[in-house]
Structure 1
Amino acid sequence: MLLAHCLVAVLCFVLFPAVADDGVAAPVQAGRLSGNLSSTGSDSLNSLMQAWSLQFMQHHPELNVQIQASGSATAAVALTESTANLGPMSRPMTHTERLRFERMHGYPPLEIPVALETLAVYVHRNNPLNAIKMNDLESLFSVEPQCRSVRRISRWAELGVAPPLGQRRISLFGRNSASGTYGFLKQQLLCHGDFKPEVHELPGAAAVIQAVALAENGIGIAGARHQSSAVKALQLLRQDQQPMTLQRTLFIYLNAHPVMGLGATELAFMQLVLSDTGQQLAEQHGFEPIPLETRLGLLQRLKELVHVD
């Protein structure tokens, strides 16, 4: 009999999801789970974590799920200090974050990719610009361009916009340093460079969209799923004018003891997340799903973490 190590469940046993030829079904029953399940981390994943939690609690009404979305950086801290069971992040953990966790617990954190997200570059809906090159985007946001461009851009005219908007300085909007979006763009867009100090750092993607909607001279980067009639998403181009996308993987990190495995509640929650039902919820919230083959491998990995008596 497979028994999952459990701290919060009244009765714990885990049935792994059935694998069909065309997908992965969510577990019909995963035991009577109760107690608390806490999540601290990514704002970008907040709405999806809420949706997964609601779906999960339909099968476990005695379970209390608490979600705090303060940014990806807080996930690593909470997981290391054992103040959260789940650490959703919109970027991979840094080497320093992993090292702190390993020093505290003696083993590395478990990294599970749970969804994909495409980022978009937004301008005010009245802005005539329709596309922007990646190197120009780096020039806009970087203190000192590192890998694509040497020119400096500060006004819309330098991107081909005619007056009167062309004469205005460009207002830059981004996320604060606690967010995974900040870390992802620092690595992928700025090539590990630094953001300009004049970038207005905002606490969430919705705040970036709102700021751009109110500033005719504004530009910001947020998830493509946040598109609204008040802003316009620009086509992102490579230097050779070919279209490209800026896509990232989103993760949930867990504390999986090498001997005791995962808690039954965390395990059952992750099975739901990686099931077809969980990935359909991801699509409904504007994310792209994790490929089936990858999910099957992750589910097998989770299965191997179950403690056997």
Structure 2
Amino acid sequence: MMKKYLSLVCFVLLLPQIGIAQKIKGSDTVLPLAQKEAEVYMQKHPSATVTVTGGGSGVGISALLEGTTDIAQSSRKIKFDEKLKLKNKEKEVIEVIVAYDALAVIVHPNNPITKLTREQLEALFRGKIKNWKELGGPDLKVIPYARETSSGTYEFFKESVLKYKNYMNGIMSMPATGSVIQSISQTEGAIGYVGLAYLNKDVKAIQVSYDQGQSYSNPSVSHANDHSYPIVRPLYFYYIKSEEAIVKPFIDYILSDEGQKIASELGFIKVIK
């Protein structure tokens, strides 16, 4: 019995040094970060295999519950009922913040509107403002785009911008961040939101005010760091404590100076140690 125990201890101690296959699933916001970190990590550790897929925060946490992923990546905090389901399966979940993200509000590049207050954003996404001319813009119907309900970004925007009020009925719901970008780039009256790392020249980011128009700030790493940009949220990895030896080497790499430098280069905000 003691021999078997010692063999198990030796195996666990050797885990960080041997090739380990890990699956990471969940948030589309975290996806580019996890993919790039995995790519560099596997270059440094050729015997390791890390596969990363999206699908949304809720999808990742469900996969963790079902045992089909080793790490759930999430742009929202795990819900009480999700923790309860894991506890009922005798699974203790561990939470790690791997970076922070500024959520950018975006419109079509031709839209002359450059700044909006939180109250105006709330009205736009709740269907109270229906035409851009109500805000001094062109005579164009407002077409809001949101993420699907399994997305942590959908929930965070509802919490931070809508103050827990419901989105308008019939809002355009997109399955992935890339589809939000594509839709808004092709629709002049559109408005939506994406993680800072997804911003590109096909859409325009709006300056946002959370003090009723006294001050505005555009989404950027520097403005998130100095707290002048208000729509910022933590990004999480969740894993089962009993699997810690398998996932910890990769998580430790992401939280290292090198890993956090990669996060910053991608447009995420570093974790302050």
**Partner of residue 92, structure 1:** 77
Distance in 1, Cα, partners of 2:7 & 2:183? 45
| 2:91–2:240 Cα contact (<8 Å) kept | no
Which of 119, 128, 135 is matched with 1:159 structurally? Answer: 135
The 5 Å alignment of 1:193-204 reads: 193-204=165-176
- Secondary structure in 1 matching 2:206: strand
- Secondary structure in 2 matching 1:44: coil
| 1:6–1:263 Cα contact (<8 Å) kept | no
Which of 216, 232, 243 is matched with 2:188 structurally? Answer: 216
Runs of 4+ residues deviating >4 angstroms? none
**Partner of residue 13, structure 2:** 13
Which of 43, 47, 62 is matched with 2:28 structurally? Answer: 43
What percent identity do the matched residue pairs reach? 30
- Secondary structure in 2 matching 1:129: coil
Is it true that 1:234 corresponds to 2:218 in the alignment? no
Residue 222 of structure 1: how far off its partner (Å)? 0.9
Which of 266, 270, 273 is matched with 1:289 structurally? Answer: 270
Change (3 A) 1:216 1:35: same
Q: Structure 2: where are the runs of 5+ without partners?
A: 1-5, 217-228
| 1:6–1:265 Cα contact (<8 Å) kept | no
Which of 148, 154, 158 is matched with 1:186 structurally? Answer: 158
Q: 1:234 is matched by which residue type in structure 2?
A: I
Distance in 2, Cα, partners of 1:52 & 1:6? 32
| 2:264–2:270 Cα contact (<8 Å) kept | yes
Q: 1:206 is matched by which residue type in structure 2?
A: G
Residue 37 of structure 1: how far off its partner (Å)? 0.7
Q: 1:251 is matched by which residue type in structure 2?
A: Y
Give the length in aligned residue pairs: 255
- Secondary structure in 2 matching 1:38: strand
CA RMSD of aligned residues (A): 2.3
- Secondary structure in 1 matching 2:116: strand
TM-score (norm 1): 0.77
| 1:172–1:198 Cα contact (<8 Å) kept | no
Deviations 1:170-204 (A, max 9, x none): 01111111211111112222222221123211122
Distance in 2, Cα, partners of 1:251 & 1:82? 18
TM-score (norm 2): 0.86
